[in-house]
Structure formats: C-alpha cells, structure tokens
Chains A and B, each alone.
Chain A
Amino acid sequence: SQKIEQNSEALNIQEGKTATLTCNYTNYSPAYLQWYRQDPGRGPVFLLLIRENEKEKRKERLKVTFDTTLKQSLFHITASQPADSATYLCALPSRDSWGKLQFGSGTQVVVTP
C-alpha cells in the first residue's frame, strides 16, 4: 500500500498569509489525489480532486498542485482566515480496489487574527 506523508506539526499562520501544506507519497502514482478538511469531532469534507494529468487546480482561495515526478502534492490556502483553521487531509485512491481511499494523517492549520 501507499505510504502517505503529511507534516505532523501544526502550521501556525497569520491571517491574510498563504498556508502551504505538503503531501508526499512513496509508491505508485495515483490516477488522482484528493484533499479534505476535517474539523475537530467531525467527519472530513471533500475540497478538491486533482488528476494525474493536471498540474494545478483552483477553487476559490484554494490551490492544489500535483507533481507525479516528485510524488508530491501541494495545497495552498491564500488570504487565509481564522475560519480556515482545521486539519487538512490528503487522500489517494487504493490501487487494489476502485473507490477506496487511503488517507494521510493530516496537517493542522491554525490561522491567527
């Protein structure tokens, strides 16, 4: 199975700045990669999906890049707001079963006013 690595240390950032999170995987390159947001005591919420042939994807203040050569995805939150404070998870599809996802451990983002 994939080994998915996300920075376990919380990212503390000032409001208005850009937060950048990293997701690295070690094994096969997936057909797509997803990012989710999880608030404490809640289930994850889907944010973005980026396919292997897409270099970049944007949704409002969010931007995701996907570099299959580096086996890495970067997740950017621009003009960050305190409401963006949450844990962000990257997820890759399982190669052995369609529709199954494998999740990274997530990176907590704390945006201070």
Chain B
Amino acid sequence: GAVVSQHPSWVICKSGTSVKIECRSLDFQATTMFWYRQFPKQSLMLMATSNEGSKATYEQGVEKDKFLINHASLTLSTLTVTSAHPEDSSFYICSARVNRGNGVEQFFGPGTRLTVL
C-alpha cells in the first residue's frame, strides 16, 4: 500500500516560534495532499488542501498566513505553523490522495504532536 511519512513525530516549542512539519509520500507521487488537525477526543478537521505547484486551498476559519503550506514537489508537502501559541497545540496529520479504480482513497501519515509552551 501507499506509505506516507511525517516529520517530526512530535515537537515542543516556545510560544512565538515557528514550526515546520513535513509530509512525504514514500513510494508514490501525490499531486494532492491534505492537512488535518485533531484535538483530543475529537474528529479530524480538514485545514487545507495542498496541490503540487499551486497555492493551497484553506478551509473556512483557517488562517492561511498562520498555517503556511508549500507543496513544491510530487512527494513533499510542508506545513509551517507561524508564531505558534499554546492554542495551536494539537495533533497534525497529513494525507495523500490516491485514485483507485473503485474510488478515491486517502493514505494518512502517522501524525505530528505539536506542543506549544
């Protein structure tokens, strides 16, 4: 199956700093990747759709200047949380869309736990 990796798996940072999270498709090319955020005991909330070679599409209520997304190649998308604050502490998960003969599947990365002090 398709494998998606994320780095780092966890990060602790001070308030006001920026944090970059990488999402890589290891054995396939992904023109579209998605970034989600998940708070404890809650569902995955889609933050943005990352398209290779073009600007990301953000969901309503997500600040594009705070959550910078770059999808510079077919195997790498990055999410940068700028000027992070404690309320940005969450579990960030990326996924890559794969077209199958019977529909569309998303393969998820293992997630990145961000803690902002």
- B-contacting residues of A (Cβ < 8 Å)? 4, 31-32, 34, 36, 41-46, 49, 51, 89, 93, 97-106
- A-contacting residues of B (Cβ < 8 Å)? 4, 6, 32, 34, 41-44, 46, 49, 57, 91, 93, 95, 97, 102-111, 113
- Contact assessment for B111 and A105 in the assembled complex, using a CB-CB cutoff below 8 Å: no
- Contact assessment for A41 and B113 in the assembled complex, using a CB-CB cutoff below 8 Å: yes
Name the contact of B42 in the complex, choosing from A4, A34, A105 (C-beta under 8 A): A105
- Contact assessment for B32 and A43 in the assembled complex, using a CB-CB cutoff below 8 Å: no
- Contact assessment for B108 and A44 in the assembled complex, using a CB-CB cutoff below 8 Å: yes
Chain A residues, CB < 8 A from B32: 99
- Contact assessment for A100 and B103 in the assembled complex, using a CB-CB cutoff below 8 Å: no
Name the contact of A43 in the complex, choosing from B42, B49, B109 (C-beta under 8 A): B109
Question: Measured between alpha carbons, how far is A46 from B44 in the docked complex, in Å?
Answer: 14
Question: Measured between alpha carbons, how far is A8 from B6 in the docked complex, in Å?
Answer: 28
Question: Measured between alpha carbons, how far is A36 from B97 in the docked complex, in Å?
Answer: 15
Chain A residues, CB < 8 A from B97: 99
Nearest-Cβ distance from residue A40 to partner chain B, whole angstroms: 10
Question: Measured between alpha carbons, how far is A102 from B57 in the docked complex, in Å?
Answer: 16
Question: Measured between alpha carbons, how far is A89 from B36 in the docked complex, in Å?
Answer: 14
Query: Counting chain A CB atoms within 10 Å of each CB, which of B4, B103, B111 scores highest?
Result: B103
> With A89-B44, A99-B97 known to touch, is A45 a contact of B104 (CB < 8 Å)?
no
Question: Measured between alpha carbons, how far is A99 from B46 in the docked complex, in Å?
Answer: 12
Name the contact of B110 in the complex, choosing from A43, A49, A51, A99 (C-beta under 8 A): A43
Chain A residues, CB < 8 A from B46: 100-102
Q: What is the chain B residue whose CB lies nearest that of A46? A: B105
- Contact assessment for A105 and B103 in the assembled complex, using a CB-CB cutoff below 8 Å: no
Chain A residues, CB < 8 A from B107: 46
- Contact assessment for B104 and A98 in the assembled complex, using a CB-CB cutoff below 8 Å: yes
